[in-house]
A and B are shown apart, each in its own frame.
Chain A
Amino acid sequence: MKNRSKLQKIASGIWEYTLSIGIFIAFWFVYVRFADVPAYILPSPGVVWISFVDLFRTGMVWPHLWTTSYEVLFGFFIGSLLGMILGYIFIKIDFLKVALMPYLIFLQTAPKIALVPLFVIWFGIGIVSKIVLIISMVIFPVLSGMMLGLDSIPADVRNLLKVLKANRWQVFSQVEIKYSLPALFSSLKIGIVQAVIGAIVAEWMSGKQGLGYILTYASSTYKISMLLAGIVLTILLGIATYEMVNIFENKLLYWHESKRNQE
């Protein structure tokens, strides 16, 4: 019975999603057809679809998709790890938080597009500068989430651990990391979206590989249908990576109040 209602929920979700996209494409199609919009301004959905399929049929998209996916996942992993470690250290050592937090805020508020040339000069035109940019975009939200998570542990839970004479590792592994998960996953979801944006921006500005490069190439050669196909592919990559984080969240946060309605 429970499985059936779960399946019904999934089916209804897919139906609503498809309907929403269908209505959008229908409007797009009707607008292009009846407003007589030239293809170099906005091609019809059908033309974009052909261009999208061509990217895969010719096989030209695979190395670019691989490069971007690798950058996103690797940069996100390192950025998240650093964010979590720094968040933990900042909560435990107030002096380091006071000393280092302003630099991280500078990094976060600086326009990322302006940092790319700087990173290229420092780290070269290859993958390192792109990974560094992604890390710089992921680290801050994850650090903030980790700090919020650790701060939200009830005082009496800490008292309980004190009464039980738990050691530092037990406090961290048994309680702190698990209590931090809700806030941490909220920040990881922001982080993964930031990672995709970071990768595309970095590839747009430099390099000869990646989905960002496809977008630059299509834009500079006025291949609008290819540009739109590239944008769609970037969005799909964003959704796929976001959903990966979502799957982990559902697995690890099964106990959280927010998951009650998903059962």
Chain B
Amino acid sequence: MGQKENDVVIRDLDKIYGNLLKEDTVALKGINLSIKKGEFVSIIGPSGCGKSTLLKIIGGLEKLSAGTIEYSDPENRLGFVFQDSVLLPWKNVRENAEFPLVIQKKQTKENEEKLDALLDLAGLKEFSSALPRELSGGMKSRVSIVRALSYDAPLLLMDEPFGALDALTRDHLNIELLKIWSKTNKTIIFVTHSIEEAVFLSDRVIVMATRPGRIREIVPIDLTRPRDEDSRNDSKFGEYCRYLREIIG
């Protein structure tokens, strides 16, 4: 696999939290991972295995203790979708989605049109002027995804974005996310607790183990695309879920 095909290459990454009174905590140990351009990768594992920490390190929100990360984009532009949708409560749906363009001073006509198309794709056009407090949890999640896609970041990092939603809304948003992903062709790294969600969405599932946080296995998901509700009834889907459940224990 050549370097040019990859969007992110992580080599020998460690994350250690120093502690004055107790022993240092090793959150991540020896992480090696390459993520291809346009790939959809999920990270799953038990609580405390460091999956969110790994995502934050890739996103530049936490420092690594050892190792390197290489990005294909020299400017290291990325979008981040947090577990809570993190919408600014005084801005309406469109203004929240437009926020990155405002910060980066990229409110060109072309970008604004692209934003409107994304809002339409996410079913939010009619709610453009609604305030976050008027939205359901699912709609808030959609706004935060559109916000992360609104600017030209080739890499999208998602930290359990649907974790707080009910199962039905989550399933529905998974299908919408895949639709948006197929049209934008971004690289997505998606952290989740749900095995079914990881299998449904991903090209590869990275299974992490705890104490110290490390990669236990990388499972390629060979399900046909585009995926929809019926994909969950595929016998292979069930097999992948069972296998991953066994590994995680």
Contact = CB atoms under 8 A, between A and B. Distances in A.
B60 A255 contact: no
Contacts of A157: 86, 88
Contact of A163 (B80, B84, B102): B80
Contacts of B131: 255
B80 A159 contact: yes
B88 A163 contact: no
Contacts of A174: 99, 102-103
Contacts of A254: 90
Interface string B47-64: 000000000100111000
Interface in A200-255: 254-255
Interface string A145-164: 00000000010110111111
Interface residues of B, number: 22
Contacts of B233: none
A256 B88 contact: no
Nearest to A160: B86
Interface in A157-206: 157, 159-166, 170, 174-175, 178
Given A159-B80, A163-B59, A163-B61, A178 B133 contact: no
Interface string B83-97: 110101111000000
B106 to A, nearest CB: 11
A181 B13 CA distance: 41
A212 B225 CA distance: 80
B61 A164 contact: no
B88 A175 contact: yes
Contacts of B104: 164-165
B133 A255 contact: yes
B86 A163 contact: no
A37 B59 CA distance: 77
Nearest to B134: A260
Contacts of B71: none
A170 B103 contact: yes
A36 interface: no
A199 B99 CA distance: 44
Nearest to A163: B80
Nearest to B133: A257
B102 A255 contact: no
B82 A159 contact: yes
Contacts of A255: 89-91, 131, 133
A164 B104 CA distance: 7
B207 interface: no
B158 interface: no
A202 B104 CA distance: 51
B191 interface: no
Interface in A68-112: none
A45 to B, nearest CB: 45
A262 to B, nearest CB: 13
A66 to B, nearest CB: 36
**Closest A-B pairs by Cβ, 9 of them:** A255-B90, A156-B82, A163-B80, A164-B103, A156-B86, A166-B103, A255-B89, A159-B61, A164-B100
12 contacts: A154-B84, A156-B82, A157-B86, A159-B59, A160-B86, A163-B60, A163-B61, A163-B80, A166-B103, A174-B102, A178-B90, A256-B89
Interface of A: 154, 156-157, 159-166, 170, 174-175, 178, 254-257, 260
Given A159-B59, A162-B60, 15 more contacts: A154-B86, A157-B88, A159-B61, A162-B61, A163-B61, A163-B79, A164-B100, A164-B104, A174-B102, A174-B103, A255-B89, A255-B90, A255-B91, A256-B89, A257-B133
